[in-house]
Structures are given as C-alpha cells and as structure tokens.
Structure 1
Amino acid sequence: MYAVVAITKHGVEIARKLHEKLPDAHIYYTDKFSKGDEEQKGIRLFSGNVRVHLATWFATYRGLILIISLGAVVRMIAPLLKDKKTDPAVVVIDDKAEHVISVLSGHLGGANELTRQVAALLHARPVITTASDVQQTIAVDLFGRSFGWVWENEENLTPVSAAVVNEQHVAIVQESGERHWWTYDAPLPANIRTYGSIAEALKARPDAALVVTHRLLEKEEQAILQHGVLYRPKVIVIGIGCNRGTSAQEIEQVICDTLQQLRFSLKSVKALCTIDLKKDEEGLLAVANKYGWPLIFYTPEQLNAVPIDEPSETVFRYTGAYGVSEPAAKRYSGQQQLVLTKKKSGNVTISVALWEGER
C-alpha cells in the first residue's frame, strides 16, 4: 500500500489526479486546501506541519509518493532511515508534475519501478540514478527476485554490484531456474559472460560471479563465492505422503535429511504436493507454513492419471490413489523422471522432482 502526500495547492491537484489512477493508494493533503469532497472520495486531510505525520507514514506504508521539494524530503526522512531491506520506497514529484524522482530504496524497496509507474500516469519524466538502471545492466540485489529467487551471501552484494557497474569481468553460472531474466532490448553487456559450469567459470578467473543453483556447492566449487553471490531458484518439488497424525517435526526432519542427502538447498523448495485427503493434516500444514511453501493438493483421480513406477494396492485401499508422493511430484513438476522416485522413512513417504518449466 502506498501513500501520496501533498502540501501545496498544485500538489493537491496532482494528488487528486493520482487518486483516480492509483485507487489502492491512500491520499493525504493539508486541510488548508480542502475542497469539501474529501470524505466522500476517501481522501485524508491532515493539519499542521507534514513532518509531524511523516514518521507514522514512513513506518506504515510500503512506499511514499511525496509531492514536496526534494531537499525538504531528504531532511525529513534522514532521521527515519534504518536499513535498505526495511525502509519504504520514497518517490518525489515536483510541483508541476514534470519529474518523478526515485529517492530511497530504489531496488529492494521498489522505488525505481514505482517511479516509472507514476511517471507514466502523469506523463512526466522518471528520474532514476541507480547505476545498474542507468547503464541497463544487472541489478545484483534484484537478480531473479521476480521469480522468487533468494540470495544467500548478502555480504557480497555490494562488491559484486560494483564489479557489474564498473564493467569488470562478471561470470554467470546458471544450473537451474527461469532463464528469461534479461529483459532489456540490448544484448547482455560485454563484461558479463555466461559459463556452462562453475569449474569453467573458475578457469576464466572472473572478478565477480553470479551463481544460480539449487545444489549445495562442493568444497572445490566454493571458491567462486569469494567474490560471488549465490542465488537459490525455486525449483525443488516435493511430493509427500504421511500417516494420519504424523508430527511436523518428523515430516520436517525427513524433508531436511532427504535434501541433504541429495545435496539440495532447502531454500530452493518450490512446493509441497500431496493428496487432498491431507488438507487438514496438521503436521504438513505446519511445515508448509513454517517455510512459506505452497501446499498443493490433488484428488485421487488426478494422481491416478499420472503414470508411476511403483503403484501400491495398499495405498489405493486407503486413499483411492495408487500412489501419493510420486504422482504428486510428477504432476506438479511436469517431469516423468524424478530425482528421487520414492523413499519411505518412518511415517513419511517422499519423492523429489526438479521443476524446469514456467507455471
């Protein structure tokens, strides 16, 4: 949710225009320029100095669109700044709506994208100074974010970003995950080169690296991360079955142990898949909730439509499906060959697939 704030006569007109085009945004302006229809339109009035209210808005909203001079905004938000991972996006619009300026949290907070959006609505010029955007190159802290990728070694984000924008040799190794991450019309910058493997990239001795994989790196591969960032794409599909009442602790332990044996990262799990009889299985629900994993349910008919290697008459008698974990993993992933067809461990049965396509 965004807040639009205005304190001048012209700013109020701009805010009212945005109110029509950004219906989900909350509009605030000084009561000095009230037009009498604010309550009807859902516009919020404030009195006194805007600085008094800004701290509350800064802590409440995902982004602030301020129709206030840039210098005044810088002075007002300076005491409120905490961390780029938590500070909201801040965008400034001049009093004639000629320029929309990305001020704070351009990447992680989304201010750059918000600037482009608002500028398009107002037919204004977006002003973005982030080096990677200006140069049309990779934004290291946003790489794969739209796909749900997560990075692991945060401490390397800044030096690797510097290597990218300073046109040093940057290697990209992608073993899994979505491939259409380059969205500019221009070719990939010459200083960024893709390699087929980590070993190949290491031989090229790059200044920095972006590594995209669901695997846990082997000891000899970890040298790439001395000056690299590791990204975890969401590609691991887990099919799972369990006896009624199986604890969350047992389910979680089987998943963690299995992925460790496969040398896969827990951060790359895309979904847990099972039969719809498990919609109220507390252990499964708890594990999915803990990790934020989607929990996908299939009917017995949907599972039986998937060819499997190990159909079970016993499972069919209890569930109406000839298998649960194996066909569930195959159905969601779209793969007929699984990384792990089926493993029984205590009260849990698990299958693992790697997702390769788009959903």
Structure 2
Amino acid sequence: MIALQEGEVPAVTQRGDYAVVAITKHGVELARKLGSSFQNSDVYYMSKFEKGDEEDNGIQLFSGSVRLLLPALFQHYKGIIIIISLGAVVRMIAPLLKDKKTDPGVVVVDDKGENVISVLSGHIGGANELTREIAALLKAHPVITTASDVQKTIPVDLFGKRFGWVWDSAEKLTPVSASVVNEEKVAVIQESGERGWWHYDTPIPENINSYSSIEEAEKDGFQAALVVTHRLLKEEEKHVLNNGVLYRPKNIVLGMGCNRGTSAFEIESVMLETLEELQFSVKSVRAISTIDLKKDEEGLLQVAKKYGLEFSYYTPEELNEMEIKNPSETVFKYTGAYGVSEPAALLKSGASELYLEKKKSGNVTISVAVIPYN
C-alpha cells in the first residue's frame, strides 16, 4: 500500500502507460472496469475500498490525500484518467503543470461514468483521443472542447502525427492554429509524405486548399501555410514560414554498407554529409537498410538508435532480386549479393528508382531512396 505523506513524492509501480485513479465507492467500480478492459493501464484507489484481490490484479492501494499521489503519476504516465469531480482535479493538478509538450494527458470521468472530459494536453498529450477511447468503453459521452476538434478541421500540432511526421519548429504552431480555426485562407503545401491525412467524415473546410509546391500556392495566395517536405527550403522560400509550420514526413530510406568494425562516427558523418549534399532533412529519414551480414554491425546499430531509425536487413537472395545499375562482382564474392546499399534502399522504400544510386566514402557505401506516396 502507498502511504501518502505531505512533502514526499510516493513510489509507484508503473506497468502501463496510463493511470486510472478513484477515491469513491462508485469510482472504484469504474476504475476496476477500466483496469480490466483498457489495456496498458494501472489502477489506483483508496485502501478503504480494498476487496482482497488487488495484488492479484496489479491494483495499487493508497491512503491519504489523492493530491499527494498526482506528482508521481505526472512523472511516470503519459495519460491519467481520474474519476473525481472536474473542479477538484483542476485545483489539484494546477501546481504540477509545466508545458503542453511534456505534461501528460489528463481525462476526468464523473462518478456515474456518464461523461468523460478531456482536461489537459488534449492534442500533444493525447487526452482527446484518450477521452474518445474511455467514453467508448464506458458507453459515456465524450466532452472535447478543442477548437479544431469541435470544428472538424486540421489540428496543427498533430498534423501527420499518426504517420510519424515531425515539425521543424514549434514557434508558429499557435498563430497557424489560430488561422485554421478562424477560417483564414490556409495552404497545405505537400511535396512528399502520406496523402491520407484528412480523417474526418466531412469535407475539408473551404478555407483549406492543397498544393504540390510553394510556387503553386503563392499564385493562389494564403494567410498561413502547412508545408510538408523532406527537402531543405531554399532561402528564397523560407518566407512561407512567416506564418507557417514545416513538417518532416518519414520518407527517406538510406541503404548502407560498410567494412566490418566501421565506427558509428564515420557512418554518421557520411550520412549527414550525404543528406546535406542532397538538401534533405535528417528528420525525414525513416530507416537504415542493409544486408543481413551486417545485422549486428555495431556502428550501424548505434546510428539507427541515436536517430530513432528503423533498422532493416535482407538476405543476399532478396537483394539479388532487385535490378541495380551498379552490380559488383567483388561485393558478390564477399557477400553473395551483387550490391548492398542500392538494393537494400529499393527493397525497404518500395521505390522504383534511387534518388542517389551509390556513393562510396571511406569505409561506407550509401544509397538514398524516397518512399513514393501517391
């Protein structure tokens, strides 16, 4: 049992990503229901409602004010579902708030389980989506007040998140969001990345128009822009971000080969130099792809881990199925494949041709492919 004391942050045992908290008899029943049906969640409730099966079910009991439990939950969980009155929750979490980019999503459920309310970090923290999920499980009414959700328009801070898109800078998120919800003329300029970003069952609002290039959008005029590209913008294009957000889709695959024992520093240097030469953003790299002989190559693994990249590898037979322009008998002699970086990039990306066929630099060979999205 967790004994809550003033001035101490209690030790909690985190198993899932979400915490469910209750302090009333009816709330405990709801919490237990959520604990059994909502995967990846940990349940906490007051010890006076102990039923005897808590240890078997991984439920954590506490005594004392629930206010003292919240600092620990804020540190450990990405989302917190609290079955307490909204006003009480607002007062308790107020001293804990830091930044919407780091605060967990907080959702409040009323004691009868009739309403589920998104309270904190609705977009970036995921509280809005969590609200919908919990409401569906409880057959309750989801209450979401975020303007973009209510109006069924683009949530600028979450645009493309489900595809893994990231923004270059958060500086203009707020003013561009204001332009979207205030129905100003907004240009979605998409040069690359997934196309199915509109997920509502209603048409795209009339104030939002899509373009395939900055030049095309400028002919039409706009007051705010959402720019989706893996390309580094030229100086003369950067004015588009005066009231714009630049998104990086994960659509670049690096096929890589190297001599055994090549350092991560050398591999990373070749990667960054190549991307700079191509004027591609490193934030748009999705994966490093190679031959299975290199699946344990420490330098490649370290670079993939550092940049959060997928790491894939293929057998010589799989690589030889790909048609490449630079087959090598020497490479075949040592690996059984006529090439490594080129076919590996093609296989992983699904592209029909390479953006960069093959570049040899020191101990590293690199090829670059851009994932096609139609």
User: Given the two structures, how large is their TM-score scaled by the length of structure 2?
Assistant: 0.94
1:134-165: CA deviation from partner (whole Å, max 9, x where unpaired): 00000000000010100012100000000000
Q: Secondary structure at the match of 2:372?
A: coil
CA–CA separation in structure 1 for the residues paired with 2:239 and 2:248 = 17
How much identity, in percent, do the aligned residues show?
Answer: 68
**Corresponding position of 2:178:** 162
| Distance in 2 (alpha carbons) for counterparts of 1:232 and 1:166 | 25
Q: CA deviation at 1:117?
A: 0.4
2:300 to 256, 265, 284: 284
Quick check: 2:253–2:370 contact (8 Å CA) kept in 1?
A: yes
CA distance in 2, matches of 1:221, 1:107: 29
Q: C-alpha displacement at 1:17, in angstroms?
A: 1.5
Equivalent position amino acid for 1:183 in 2? H
Query: SS at the partner of 1:154?
Result: coil
2:123 to 94, 97, 107: 107
Aligned to 1:266: 282
- In structure 2, relative to structure 1, the CA distance for the partners of 1:143 and 1:23 (3 Å cut) is closer
**Which of these residues, 148, 155, 160, is aligned with residue 139 of structure 1?**
155
Distance 1:309 1:336 in 2: 12
Give 3-state SS (helix, strand or coil) of 1:40's partner. Answer: coil
How far apart are 1:96 and its partner, in Å?
0.9
Matched, 1:214 2:220: no
The partner residue of 1:238 within 254, 271, 274 is 254
Q: Cα 1:156–1:23, aligned 2, differ >3 Å: closer, same or farther? A: closer
Q: What amino acid is the match of 2:300?
A: L
Contact 2:192–2:373 (Cα < 8 Å) also in 1: no
The letter for the 1-side match of 2:359 is: K
Q: Which amino acid aligns with 1:293?
A: L
Tell me which residue corresponds to 1:4: 20
Q: Distance in 2 between matches of 1:201 and 1:24?
A: 44
Q: 1:220 & 1:295 partners in 2: Cα distance?
A: 36
Decide which moves more: 41-50 or 233-242.
Answer: 41-50
Contact 2:287 2:311 in 1 (8 A): yes
Match of 2:106 in 1: 90
Query: 1:299: which partner in 2?
Result: 315
Structure 1 residue corresponding to 2:48, chosen from 32, 37, 40 = 32
- Aligned partners of 1:275 and 1:257: how far apart in 2? 22
Under a length normalisation based on structure 1, what TM-score does the superposition of the two structures give?
0.97
User: Is residue 66 of structure 2 the alignment partner of residue 50 of structure 1?
Assistant: yes
Do the aligned partners of residues 338 and 52 (structure 1) sit closer, same or farther apart at CA in structure 2, a change above 3 Å counting? same
Q: Which residue in 1 is equivalent to 2:346?
A: 330
**Partner secondary structure for residue 145 of structure 2:** coil
1:73 is matched with which residue: 82, 85, 89? 89
Give, in angstroms, the shift of residue 37 of structure 1: 2.5
Shift of 1:203: 3.0
Could you say which structure has the higher helix fraction? 1
CA distance in 2, matches of 1:322, 1:294: 24
Residue of 27, 32, 40 corresponding to 1:16: 32
Structure 1 portions without partners, runs of 5+: none
Rounded Cα–Cα distance in structure 2 between residues aligned with 1:349 and 1:43:
53
Relative to structure 1, the CA distance from residue 70 to residue 285 in structure 2 (aligned partners, 3 Å threshold; closer, same or farther) is same
Corresponding letter in the other structure for 1:274: T
Runs of at least 4 residues off by over 4 Å: none
Between the aligned partners of 1:238 and 1:273, the Cα distance in structure 2 is 6
- C-alpha displacement of 1:23: 4.1
Whether 1:179 and 2:184 are equivalent positions in the alignment is: no
What secondary structure does 2:192 align onto? coil
Per-residue deviation, 1:357: 4.5
> Aligned AA for 1:277?
L
Q: What residue is the counterpart of 1:129 in the other structure?
A: 145
Deviations 1:55-109 (A, max 9, x none): 1112111111000000000000000001111111100000111100000010011
Matched residues, number = 358
Deviation at 1:218, TM superposition (A): 1.1
The alignment's C-alpha RMSD in Å is 1.2
